[in-house]
């Protein structure tokens, strides 16, 4: 499937805001994430449309070390990758293709030249971990973090940017 990456807008954000996941995956529900509906948060957030122009996912690219005033979010600091897939598409093998296309999009759009793209995945989410591994992400380390009042164990993963040749 060929995906299209479109700047987030209220129409797409409102659709994504209704997505609900079952069981332990309910931690990913967007219904309590009002940040999604705030246009000030859309700078590096994209709706992912499928071949029928339906919203299939969202990706967010962010930089935890973002200095003020940079035009390019990733001129300094590492790119962190996050995504959410429409609940009826999860667990069906669509993840690796989405991740692969999203990485190509992100690296090109931002002319990203740092060594790694990073992400965190909640440790119980083995299917996401496997999807990221299929796309070249590797385990970096484990850490814990509080989200919405609950402490979760996370796995930090990293993807070696093929645009960077450090002579190793």
Q: Please report the domains of the chain, with CATH numbers, ordered by start residue.
A: 4-118 (3.40.630.30)
Return the closest-CA partner of residue 3 out of 44, 61, 59. 59
- Say which residues have a Cβ less than 8 Å from residue 27's Cβ, sequence separation at least 6: 21, 122, 147, 148, 150, 152
Helical (H) or strand (E) element with 46: strand 45-49
What pLDDT was estimated at residue 69? Answer: 56
What pLDDT was estimated at residue 64? Answer: 61
- Say which residues have a Cβ less than 8 Å from residue 2's Cβ, sequence separation at least 6: 51, 101
pLDDT tens for the chain, 168 residues: list them: 899 999 999 999 999 999 999 999 999 999 878 889 999 889 899 999 999 999 999 999 987 655 555 555 555 578 899 999 999 999 999 999 999 999 999 999 988 888 899 999 999 999 999 999 999 999 999 999 887 788 999 999 999 998 776 544
What pLDDT was estimated at residue 87? Answer: 97
What pLDDT was estimated at residue 168? Answer: 44
Beta-bridge partner residues of 147: 150
């Amino acid at each position: 499937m060929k995906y299209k990456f479109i700047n987030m807008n209220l129409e797409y954000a409102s659709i994504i805001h209704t997505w609900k996941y079952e069981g332990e995956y309910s931690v990913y529900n967007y219904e309590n994430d009002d940040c999604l509906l705030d246009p000030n948060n859309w700078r590096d957030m994209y709706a992912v449309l499928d071949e029928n122009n339906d919203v299939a996912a969202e990706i967010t690219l962010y930089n935890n070390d973002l200095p003020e005033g940079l035009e390019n979010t990733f001129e300094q600091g590492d790119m962190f990758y996050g995504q959410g897939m429409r609940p009826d598409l999860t667990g069906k093998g669509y993840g690796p293709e989405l991740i692969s296309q999203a990485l190509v999009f992100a690296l090109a759009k931002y002319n990203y030249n740092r060594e790694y793209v990073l992400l965190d995945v909640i440790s119980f989410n083995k299917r996401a971990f496997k999807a990221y591994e299929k796309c070249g992400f590797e385990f970096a380390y484990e850490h814990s973090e509080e989200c919405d009042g609950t402490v979760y164990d996370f796995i930090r993963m990293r993807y070696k940017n093929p645009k960077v040749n450090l002579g190793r």
